[in-house]
């Protein structure tokens, strides 16, 4: 190669390297954008995919006919509650159609409420299948852990930029859980149970979902009693004489039979390992 053509060839090689580098960078940026979109749960399709998938998974256990139709009805009623609305102006009643559109089952003598004991409660229900929490029902299972909202003038659903739980009382997530909690409590029949946190100075918090919504929706024509399980560790000085539990008893309809028992968390863990015991006399 002559000395005159060598710089030209070198420039061509350099140009090709630059073009390849630019293409690689664009590909990497596209991949990164896709990953971020998935991670952030962008609007619309991602939320629908999760909801429909969870709905189908749940209904496969029950094996009802027309599972896809039930899940589509659920999605339509769900989004109809908040799409196009102000993010802080979604009342509990907006979810009425959703609550009425899904199949409801009675869980007589098996209903389990909880407050500040979510981890141990769900360990218990998932390990034993004896009692049923809201999160073990169709709506609770499908929406557990999700975030969503709409926006004024938009027909899209969003999972980012939504109000936090305490940011405004009528945000779409908080109103959803308030509405389905009220329905779950109203449907309780027979003897129900609630697991409260015995490690706290006030196990019964009147401002919690259990205290402010579920207790107020107990129906004494269906429900006969409430058993409090005060979950405690060995170092706790938990007692059923706690003043907050006395407040709980006062808040209940006098027609409901009330009972309370302190149960060690280690005992509950033992019941999880022995389902026949858990479904009998764990406490």
Show which residues are catalytic.
Answer: 108, 189
* Cβ atoms within 10 Å, residue 177: 20
Instruction: Give the span between the Cα atoms of 262 and 265, in whole angstroms.
Output: 10
Half-sphere exposure at residue 176, Cβ-oriented, CA atoms within 13 angstroms: 25
d(CA 63, CA 138): 13
Neighbouring-strand partners of residue 262 = 230
Q: The tokens of 227 are what?
A: 């058993």
Closest CA to 41 of 146, 196, 164: 146
Are 265 and 197 within 8 A, CB to CB? no
- State the burial class of residue 201 (Cβ atoms within 10 Å of its Cβ: 0-12, 13-18, 19+): exposed
Spatial CB neighbours of 38, under 8 Å, sequence gap ≥ 6: 46
Beta-ladder partners of 149: 158
Q: Is 1 helix (H, G, I), strand (E, B) or coil?
A: coil
Edge-to-edge strand order for the sheet containing 112-115? Answer: 112-115, 190-197, 223-232, 257-264
């Amino acid at each position: 190669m002559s000395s005159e053509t060598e710089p030209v060839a070198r420039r061509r090689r350099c140009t090709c390297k630059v073009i390849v580098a630019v293409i690689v960078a664009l590909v990497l940026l596209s991949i990164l954008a896709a990953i971020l979109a998935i991670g952030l749960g962008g609007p619309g399709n991602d939320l629908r995919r999760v909801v429909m998938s969870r709905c189908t998974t749940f209904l496969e256990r029950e094996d009802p006919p027309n599972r896809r139709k039930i899940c589509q009805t659920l999605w339509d009623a769900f989004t109809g509650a908040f799409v196009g609305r102000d993010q802080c102006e979604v009342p509990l009643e907006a979810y009425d159609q959703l609550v009425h559109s899904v199949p409801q089952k009675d869980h007589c003598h098996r209903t389990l409420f909880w407050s500040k004991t979510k981890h141990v409660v769900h360990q218990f229900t998932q390990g034993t299948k004896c009692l049923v929490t809201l999160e073990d029902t169709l709506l609770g299972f499908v929406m557990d852990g999700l975030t969503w909202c709409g926006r004024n003038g938009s027909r899209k659903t969003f999972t980012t930029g939504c109000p936090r739980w305490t940011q405004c009382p009528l945000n779409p997530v908080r109103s959803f859980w308030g509405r389905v909690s009220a329905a779950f409590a109203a449907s309780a029949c027979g003897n129900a149970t609630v697991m409260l946190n015995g490690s706290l100075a006030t196990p019964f918090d009147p401002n919690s979902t259990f205290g402010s919504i579920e207790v107020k929706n107990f129906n004494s024509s269906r429900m006969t009693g409430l058993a409090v399980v005060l979950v405690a560790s060995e170092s706790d000085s938990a007692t059923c004489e706690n003043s907050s539990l006395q407040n709980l008893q006062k808040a209940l309809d006098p027609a409901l039979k009330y009972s309370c028992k302190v149960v060690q968390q280690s005992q509950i863990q033992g019941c999880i390992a022995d389902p026949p015991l858990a479904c009998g006399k764990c406490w």
